[in-house]
Amino acid sequence: MKQYFEYYKGKRTLVTGADGFMGSHLVDKLIEMGADVTAYVRGSSVIGTNRFDLKNLKHQINKIQIIAGDISSPETQRLIIDDHPDIIFHLAAEAYVPKSFNQPMEVVRANVDGTLNVLEAARSLNKIKSIERLVCTSSSEIYGTHEDPIKETDTMNPSSPYGASKVAADRLAWSWWNTYNLPIAIIRPFNTYGPRHTYDVIPKFIDKALEGKVLEVHGDGLQTRDLMYVDDTIDGFLTMGWHKDAIGKAVNFGTGTDVPIKEVAEKIKLYSESDCEIIYIGKRTSEVKRLCCDPSLARSLFNWKSTVSIDDGLRRNIEWAKAQKND
């Protein structure tokens, strides 16, 4: 059992982006540990006033409170303050990188204004009661391409509007800790995959492989990513929400190993037992050549390390996807 398991029992915990991929997994784990959870979701995720209509969290409807709203709206502040959480996990974001190419203003509003609203809500709430932790979600995309595994001290060179928006959110969070002495921790997860994910390369490749369709790899496929299974990422979130040494820190979470995208395609074809074809198409806009995490700070601060290999994680993800198709 993880050290934090008892810590979260009975804690009033609010998760923004609870209807998203990582957010829904985090809610599941918090409920398992006995936390008193409020899910902040997009307004489109709710029908009427109390019916939660998102498949990811539907089985948890009787175990959580639900707030629906636009994270970039100033009204978010009031909604969070009225909930009186002890701990806030801020995951709400426009996280699909290609969307930022065509709709950069919408992405910036969600990621920058949304984070500002959560920070200001926490500052106001802290005058009423002492909040225990605000975990803000950054991204490996803040770094851009680096030849060596990336440390937290490396230069931020985002290659896309999305990455730039996450740099802004990251530094806003740090400045609110530095200026207002709020108990803020910043998590920088590297590429996460697993059940429920609907975009990015792995879920797309798995769906196509199971249907026998062509897997299209951008460029030469030699661009690499540090791919972490969602269970390890959620462990990172819960560690940042609990450990005293996380306050005032921005910490990378990844496996420490990067994998070429062409190899990911080959593994998915193999493990799904598909006869699909793999082809190579044009290079993607603003492509980052290499993203590999140096997780040494997480290891030294928290004795944290990832536990799920890329092969095991892909097999789990494929079995889950097969089960969904058979439902």
Residue 325 has pLDDT above 50, yes or no: yes
Q: What range defines the domain where residue 57 resides?
A: 12-193+229-256+295-307
Tell me if 157 is assigned to some domain: yes
Tell me if 152 is assigned to some domain: yes
Residue 205 has pLDDT above 50, yes or no: yes
Which of 53-62, 87-96, 107-116, 247-256 has the least mean pLDDT? 53-62
Mean pLDDT value across residues 89-103: 92
Mean pLDDT value across residues 79-96: 95
pLDDT recorded at residue 62:
64
Radius of gyration (Cα) for the chain, nearest Å?
19
Higher-pLDDT residue of 54 and 304 is: 304
Tell me if 42 is assigned to some domain: yes
Tell me if 302 is assigned to some domain: yes
pLDDT recorded at residue 50:
33
Number of domains into which the chain is organized:
1
Residue type, 179: T
What are the pLDDT digits (tens) for 111-140?
Answer: 999 999 999 999 999 999 899 999 999 999
Give the confidence band of 96 by pLDDT, cuts at 50, 70, 90: confident
pLDDT recorded at residue 287:
82
% of the chain surpassing 90 pLDDT: 83
Closest by CA to 276, choosing from 223, 318, 316, is 318
Q: Which residues contact 16 (CB under 8 A, 6 or more apart)?
A: 23, 40, 71, 88, 89, 90, 91, 92, 114, 118
65: domain CATH number?
A: 3.40.50.720
DSSP string of 16-80, one letter each residue: ETTTSHHHHHHHHHHHHTT-EEEEEE-GGGEETTTEE--GGGGGGGGGEEEEE--TTSTHHHHHH
Task: Count other C-beta atoms under 10 Å from residue 203's C-beta.
Answer: 18
Tell me if 160 is assigned to some domain: yes
% of the chain surpassing 70 pLDDT: 94
Mean pLDDT value across residues 89-113: 93
Say what the pTM is.
Answer: 0.93
In the chain, where does DSSP find H-type helix? 21-32, 75-83, 99-102, 104-108, 114-128, 161-180, 201-210, 230-242, 261-271, 296-302, 310-326
Tell me if 269 is assigned to some domain: no
Tell me if 303 is assigned to some domain: yes
What are the pLDDT digits (tens) for 262-288?
Answer: 999 999 999 999 999 999 999 888 888
Tell me if 36 is assigned to some domain: yes
Q: Which long-range contacts (CB under 8 A, 24 or more apart) does 142-147 make?
A: 142/166, 142/167, 142/170, 142/188, 143/291, 144/288, 145/288, 145/289, 145/290, 145/291, 146/290, 146/291, 146/292, 147/290
Closest by CA to 97, choosing from 22, 44, 166, 40, is 166
